[in-house]
Amino acid sequence: MPLPDILVHPTLTNASRTSLVLATDGPPALVIEVASPSTVYSSDLNLTDERGKPGVYEAIGVAEYIVFDPTAEFVPEQLWARRRVADTFEPWEPDERGRWVSAALDGVAFAPQGPLLRVYDREGASSRSPRRSAISSVSGSGGSPHWRRSCGACAAPTPSSSLSSVRSSALPWQKARSHPAPPGSGRHR
């Protein structure tokens, strides 16, 4: 399975886990990829190659898939989405308010707002605090997974990151991926 930028799983609660075992855990309910020049066409939006992320996520049973482009450089609408209908991914369109309402997350919704992806609770409310209501953009590739809050504070994932405790209007954890360092430097930038 590709290493997604963000995933939401409906049942995982063990904070020490760093990987998902599909045979045991089942697929994530939602995967979000942040568009980057190195992967957007070859992988994130690639519908023609079975190794493209849409095909892989569809094959493993992911319910919903979003590609978010904070700069609108690659996706003019900023958000490209697919959701499972029967056994296949179909286009997932926004509602009349311009929000992508998740069936897999019981009504949690997403909408681009400038360079942020705003998250709304089931009642349609969004917290005014950017730390609690938006997923900031990440880019780059490679390296081990690191987890951070959208405000940038480093921490390990906790049980509060599971779907059962998505509160108010926040997805509280986001995996940060660093840019690769120059060859031979032995560090990340």
* pTM, two decimal places: 0.68
Would you say 172 and 108 are in contact if contact means Cβ atoms under 8 Å apart? no
Q: Give me the mean pLDDT over the 158-165 stretch.
A: 31
How many CB atoms are located within 10 Å of the residue 60 CB?
A: 15
pLDDT at 53 over 80: yes
Task: Look at 110-114, 157-161, 183-187 and tell me which has the smallest mean pLDDT.
Answer: 157-161
Would you say 103 and 109 are in contact if contact means Cβ atoms under 8 Å apart? no
In this prediction, residue 14 has a pLDDT band, given cuts at 50, 70 and 90, of confident
Cα separation, 35 vs 108, in Å, equals 21
What is the percent of the chain where pLDDT is above 70? 66
Would you say 156 and 172 are in contact if contact means Cβ atoms under 8 Å apart? no
Amino acid identity at 3: L
Vertex 109: Cα angle to 105 and 110 (nearest 5):
120
Per-residue pLDDT of 92-115, as tens digits, reads 999 999 999 999 999 999 999 999
pLDDT at position 151: 27
Would you say 81 and 53 are in contact if contact means Cβ atoms under 8 Å apart? no
pLDDT at 133 over 80: no
| Torsion sign over Cα 35, 39, 43, 48 | positive
pLDDT at position 107: 93
Q: Give me the mean pLDDT over the 84-94 stretch.
A: 94
Nearest to 113 by CA among 139, 134, 82: 134
pLDDT at position 11: 83
Place of tokens 């045991």: 24
pLDDT at position 17: 77
In this prediction, residue 3 has a pLDDT band, given cuts at 50, 70 and 90, of confident
In this prediction, residue 128 has a pLDDT band, given cuts at 50, 70 and 90, of low
In angstroms, how far apart are the furthest CA atoms of the chain?
A: 51
Would you say 22 and 60 are in contact if contact means Cβ atoms under 8 Å apart? yes
| Torsion sign over Cα 58, 59, 61, 67 | negative
- The kind and range of the H/E element at 24 are helix 22-25
* Neighbouring residues of 21: CB distance < 8 A, sequence distance ≥ 6: none
